Amino acid sequence: LLKNSETASSQYGVNIFIVGLFLMFAVYLKIMGLTESDRLMFLVILMLIQVVWMIFYICVSDRKKWAPTEKDGHAGARWLRCGIVLFAITTLVMHALKLGYFVGYSECIPIIEGIYPVTHIVHTFFQVYFLWCHSKDVIKSFKTLERFGLIHSVFTNLLLWASAVATESDHQLEEHMERLKSLGFTNLTLTYPTDIAHLECNCSTNLCKDFKKGIYYIYPFYIEYQILASAMLYVLWKNIGNKTSHLHHKNKLNFDGVYVGCFLGLIVMAATIGIVAIYLLNIGRSKTNSEAALSIYYFYSITVLGLMSIGSLLGLVIYKTEKTSVFKEKSPAVKLDAELLVGSSIGSWIISWGSILAIIFAEHHPTYTWYNLPYSILVIVEKYIQNLFIIAYINHTPQNNLKASHIEIPIETGQVSVPAESTDFTTSKGIEVQQQASMQNQQSKKDKTHRPPADRKNNNRKLVLKNLTVLLFLCNLSLWIPPAFGCRPQYDNGLEATVFGIMPWIVLIDVALPFSIFYRMHSTYSLFDVFCKI
């Protein structure tokens, strides 16, 4: 029955998603006489259903507080929950701005554009409360209802994400058309109908333009919020009825000796902010300015990506030489992390392969387009190696952590947990493993009282790894900034658009780039996780 409701709910979710996407495209392509209001109405209904379900869930779980609830230690880590609160705050600000915009134009835009931000604010409040308190839950009762509620929430958030991405792309497109003109690609520019419907009205508060500008600066954060929320809800859904009690890691953050990594990383970050400023100031001004901006951006990216590739490779080499026992994590949270990393890399791989093929087959090659080739190759290589590095370490628990965690478990769930690898025991092996486990228990108790002096070589290795991880963490955070805030050379250089045609290339970028941006954000999270585990 368990398996059954899993399939039933996922099928329900997929269908909701299909309908939502259809409505979105229909409005976007202006077909079927559908208006923006219909689409917003659909989203409002979805959000309200989710809110009702969350209230129900919170009430039920508050009632049976006396009962011991199982928790998945991997899901909903504290920094992840803090992250979602921060992003949620920007979301609230954005919808407050939208509400302000609506108030200004309230006479000429439909009432639903006011209802939508209000509902979204309520929805955000409940969702953040829900994720803060319950993101570690392993649900055992009302399974079918919870499954449907959670999958409904997952796909509602995904639809909100898709809608945000579409709005953001539309807005970016207008800017890029201006930029392409400066490089001489007049034949490429599309005349885009900017929505002038509201211009007939007068804004009653005189702040509407500022509100609109403000909204677009917050979009990158809003997009991250939606995707993070759906990932956390998905983990909750996957955890329903899970029987394996996972090992619980409680590693303290220790920033000793990571000065080199921090220093290098902060330099990269400062450089990034500088480059983004230079890029945005120069691009679209004149042909020389645009070309200079593109060249500088490529040089900078090649340097950073090269540094990151070498760093990840070094980390992988250290991993291969290490001889600690690796054990397979079974929590859906860890598995999802790895899948999201590889899955979201596909976005930028598609763009990069497109660029590579475009450079090879283009007829004209202005000088700055040649820098695109090493850049695109490095994007592919860097993600390839970095994924290997991250996945190697998030699947990995060093020996001493393993021992420590073995003591914690009995206290928490009243069960002795055995390393996941030993689940495929044979008759005789099974008993052996249990003996080992109990011996380890005793031994690790001894360890706590007088620990042997730490191995110097091992410590050095750890220090190198920590520095590498911090460096990669800051580099990934840096590389998130340019595309999220409008530095998108894939649009601006005009090369790929000439080869593939402007519309196919824009559609491709619009679909793939959000994943690429999400990748940078998600890899920072994963690297933080790696840092905690080293």
Q: What is the dihedral of CA 32, 36, 42, 46, to 10 degrees?
A: 150
Of positions 133, 292, 388, 481, contacts a second copy by CB under 8 A = 388
Work out whether 387 is an interface residue with a second copy (CB under 8 A): yes
Token pair 């990840």: residue: 312
Rounded-to-integer distance, Cα 526 and Cα 532, Å: 10
Angle between helices 287-321 and 456-484 (to 10 degrees): 150
Token pair 């030993």: residue: 422
Q: Which long-range contacts (CB under 8 A, 24 or more apart) does 433-438 make?
A: 437/406
Work out whether 415 is an interface residue with a second copy (CB under 8 A): yes
**Segment contacting a second copy by CB under 8 A, of 87-95, 136-144, 198-206, 419-427:** 419-427
Q: Taking Cα atoms as reference points, which of 417, 422, 416, 386 lies closest to residue 522?
A: 386
Q: Which residue stretches of 29-74 are H helix?
A: 36-63
Site string for a second copy, 429-458 (x = CB under 8 A): -xx--x--xx--------------------
Site string for a second copy, 276-315 (x = CB under 8 A): ----------------------------------------
- The answer to whether residues 448 and 294 touch, using CB atoms and an 8 Å cutoff, is no
Q: How far apart are the first and last CA of the chain?
A: 40
Residue ranges in 363-382 that form contacts with a second copy under rule CB under 8 A: 380
Q: How far does CA 235 lie from the centroid of its chain?
A: 14
Of positions 323, 367, 424, 449, contacts a second copy by CB under 8 A = 424
Q: CB nearer to a second copy: give 137 or 291.
A: 137
- The answer to whether residues 330 and 418 touch, using CB atoms and an 8 Å cutoff, is no
- The answer to whether residues 472 and 530 touch, using CB atoms and an 8 Å cutoff, is no
Work out whether 188 is an interface residue with a second copy (CB under 8 A): no
Rounded-to-integer distance, Cα 335 and Cα 339, Å: 6
- Min separation Cβ 485 and a second copy, Å: 27
Work out whether 41 is an interface residue with a second copy (CB under 8 A): no
Rounded-to-integer distance, Cα 128 and Cα 133, Å: 9
- Min separation Cβ 474 and a second copy, Å: 23
Of positions 27, 34, 240, 497, contacts a second copy by CB under 8 A = 34
Of positions 124, 182, 245, 469, contacts a second copy by CB under 8 A = 245
Residue ranges in 328-347 that form contacts with a second copy under rule CB under 8 A: 328, 338, 342, 345-346
**Segment contacting a second copy by CB under 8 A, of 183-191, 386-394, 459-467, 522-530:** 386-394
Site size toward a second copy (CB under 8 A) is: 63
- Min separation Cβ 421 and a second copy, Å: 8
Rounded-to-integer distance, Cα 336 and Cα 317, Å: 25
Give the angle 396-398-401 at the CA atoms, nearest 5°: 115
Work out whether 497 is an interface residue with a second copy (CB under 8 A): no
- The answer to whether residues 381 and 356 touch, using CB atoms and an 8 Å cutoff, is no
- Min separation Cβ 518 and a second copy, Å: 17
Q: CB nearer to a second copy: give 182 or 386.
A: 386
Binding residues for a second copy (CB under 8 A)? 1, 3-4, 7-8, 10-11, 14-15, 18-19, 22-23, 25-26, 29, 31-34, 243-245, 316, 319-320, 326, 328, 338, 342, 345-346, 349-350, 353-354, 357-358, 361-362, 380, 384, 387-388, 391-392, 395, 415-416, 423-427, 430-431, 434, 437-438, 499-501, 504
